[in-house]
């Protein structure tokens, strides 16, 4: 069973895309708002019925119903508003996420946790510290979402099929993220040989800024994060050993410790089964370090 805590737009989208992947028989939507998860579950089940998909989605306001969950996705919290940075949400959401994690410890102590609430990396760190779970069981969604945006910019810039593009984004899920065009390819052809450095730098900057643009235009990002969550869930439940960038706790990797931030990992039935350490150049190391310092500044103000 998959539990999604937070039944707003992103939580609903995560349930939808997870159901469409047919990786679990049951999805529980949890929320403190009376009626919201129940109504969302009804709506989603009606859609799944027409498509002949036998995944049961149910809604509840009772945390005890998450018992037996394999994965708990934490989407609960205030969403990012136009003009806000992800870090603006830190104090608002830290207490909410802490309360959710305490309930996970109580009712789903064997589950893996996928933090999604912004600011993502500090919330992944908070989740790890408050839960007391082994670090392989906590993996935040952030860079998987950034990756989808980076792929779209590569597609727009080259005109080549999205299906041919393999790309990578690591670092902070925020303004200091590190889209790695040096590690990105189109059917194995290095992106650096297909685009000028100026163009590659443009799409990197575009990837860093596009979330704010979507929020400005429609008020929230919904479908891309929902899909990113479902991709992470599928990698775990199908034990695919897929290499995915997620926010996980570092203990010396990349030269940093006591911080949770996005890095490429092997994701399978045991959660984070291996952290892959890339050979970053001096500029990439500088950007990654900027993200680490941003996250560390944020977590220094958390009450754990």
Give the residue ranges of DSSP H helices in 132-166: 142-158
Query: Among the options 173, 181, 223, 256, which is catalytic?
Result: 173
Asked about 173 being catalytic, the answer comes back as yes
Half-sphere exposure at residue 107, Cβ-oriented, CA atoms within 13 angstroms:
18
| Positive/negative CA dihedral, 108, 111, 114, 119 | positive
- Tell me the helix, strand and coil percentages in the chain, rounded to 5: 50, 20, 30
pLDDT tens digits, 64-119? 999 999 999 999 998 777 776 767 788 889 999 999 999 999 999 999 999 999 99
Task: Provide the pLDDT for residue 40.
Answer: 98
Task: Provide the pLDDT for residue 86.
Answer: 65
- Answer whether residue 139 shows pLDDT above 70: yes
Task: Provide the pLDDT for residue 145.
Answer: 96
Considering the four listed CATH numbers 3.40.920.10, 3.40.50.720, 3.40.1350.10, 1.10.286.10, the one that applies to the domain covering 2-142 is 3.40.50.720
- Answer whether residue 277 shows pLDDT above 90: yes
CA separation, residue 9 to residues 6, 93, 174, 275 (Å): 9, 17, 20, 31
Could you tell me how many helices (H) and strands (E) the chain has, helices first?
8, 13
The CATH 3.90.110.10 domain(s) of the chain lie at 143-299
- Answer whether residue 29 shows pLDDT above 90: yes
The structure's pTM equals 0.95
Mean pLDDT of the chain: 95
Mean pLDDT of 206-235: 95
pLDDT tens digits, 44-66? 999 999 999 999 999 999 999 99
CATH, range 143-299:
3.90.110.10
Length of the chain: 304
| Positive/negative CA dihedral, 109, 79, 152, 19 | positive
The CATH 3.40.50.720 domain(s) of the chain lie at 2-142
Mean pLDDT of 4-31: 97
What phi-psi label fits residue 10: left (phi over 0), alpha (psi between -120 and 50 degrees) or beta?
Answer: alpha
Mean pLDDT of 184-197: 95
């Amino acid at each position: 069973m998959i539990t999604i805590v937070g039944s707003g737009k992103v939580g609903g989208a995560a349930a939808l895309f997870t159901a469409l992947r047919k990786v679990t028989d049951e999805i529980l939507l949890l929320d403190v708002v009376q009626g919201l998860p129940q109504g969302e579950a009804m709506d989603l089940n009606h859609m799944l019925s027409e498509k002949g998909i036998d995944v049961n989605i149910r809604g509840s306001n009772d945390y005890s119903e998450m018992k037996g969950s394999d994965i708990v996705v934490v989407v609960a919290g205030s969403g990012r508003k136009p003009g806000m940075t992800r870090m603006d949400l830190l104090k608002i959401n830290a207490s909410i996420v802490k309360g959710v994690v305490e309930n996970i410890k109580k009712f789903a102590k064997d589950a893996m946790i996928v933090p999604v609430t912004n600011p993502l990396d500090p919330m992944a760190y908070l989740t790890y510290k408050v839960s007391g779970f082994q670090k392989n069981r906590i993996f935040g969604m952030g860079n998987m979402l950034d990756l989808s945006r980076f792929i779209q910019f590569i597609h727009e810039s080259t005109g080549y099929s999205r299906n041919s593009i393999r790309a990578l984004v690591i670092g902070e899920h925020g303004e200091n993220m590190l889209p790695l065009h040096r590690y990105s390819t189109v059917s194995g052809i290095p992106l650096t040989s297909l685009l000028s450095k100026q163009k590659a730098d443009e799409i990197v900057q575009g990837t860093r800024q596009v979330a704010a643009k979507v929020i400005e235009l429609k008020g929230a990002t919904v479908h891309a994060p929902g899909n990113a969550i479902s991709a992470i869930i599928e990698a775990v439940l199908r034990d695919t050993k897929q290499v995915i960038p997620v926010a996980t706790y570092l203990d010396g990797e990349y030269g940093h410790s006591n911080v949770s931030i996005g890095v490429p990992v092997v994701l399978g039935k045991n959660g984070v089964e291996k952290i892959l350490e890339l050979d970053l150049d001096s500029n990439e190391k500088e950007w990654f370090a900027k993200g680490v310092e941003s996250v560390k500044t944020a977590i220094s103000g958390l009450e754990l």
